[in-house]
Amino acid sequence: MTSYAAYGTNLDPARMGERCPHSPMRTTGWLTGWRLTFGGEEHGWDGALATIVQDPIEQVFVAVYDMSPLDGAQLDKWESADSGLYRRTKVRVSTMVGEIVAWTYVLDAYEGGLPSASYLGVIAAAAEAADAPADYVTRLRGRACRSTGL
């Protein structure tokens, strides 16, 4: 098994249980030196898509899953990694029990644009379901977004 670090809608253990039933959540932690942002607005249905970029003073809350090979291939389809929209990259996750090397998805598009309010709400709810700190969830809910799909 390999470790997968989820930062967007896949933070939600129930959602991941449906998408990847053989890959349980192991722990939560932080991607230190990365920030959550949005990009690829032209690829989203109603706004920009979540991604992460390196940033030395930021951090992103993640859920770490023990990913089975079968579920990893299925998740690539869910995340459009099989089409080239997202690509896998290795990251180092800081957890309460030490550092874990995991893979995650990074959008292969330019940073910029606003996510839809509904998409941002799903990400915030997923973070809450993964027991992200309340201030992190509050910051997610307060981010600029599109109020309607334009």
pLDDT digits (tens, 9 = 90+) for 3-55: 999 999 999 999 999 999 999 999 999 999 999 999 988 776 688 999 999 99
| pLDDT at residue number 68 | 95
pLDDT above 90: residue 82: no
Q: Is 79 a catalytic residue?
A: yes
What is the tens place of the pLDDT at every residue in 20-34? 999 999 999 999 999
Strands 98-107 and 86-95: antiparallel
Angle CA 101–104–108, to nearest 5: 135
pLDDT > 70 in the chain, percent: 97
Single-letter residue type at 106: V
Q: With beta carbons less than 8 A apart as the criterion, state whether 94 and 32 touch.
A: yes
Is 105 part of any known ligand binding site?
no
What is the pTM assigned to this prediction?
0.93
The pLDDT value recorded for residue 43 is 76
Domains of the chain, by residue range, sit at 2-139
Which one is catalytic: 18, 41, 79, 128? 79
**Coil, strand or helix at 81:** helix
- Specify whether the CB–CB gap between 78 and 149 falls below 8 A: no
For 83-107, letters b (16+ CB in 10 Å) and e give: eebbeeeebebeeeeeebebbbbbb
What is the structure's pLDDT at 9? 95
- CATH classification of 2-139 is 3.10.490.10, yes or no? yes
Residue 150 — pLDDT band, cuts 50, 70, 90? very low
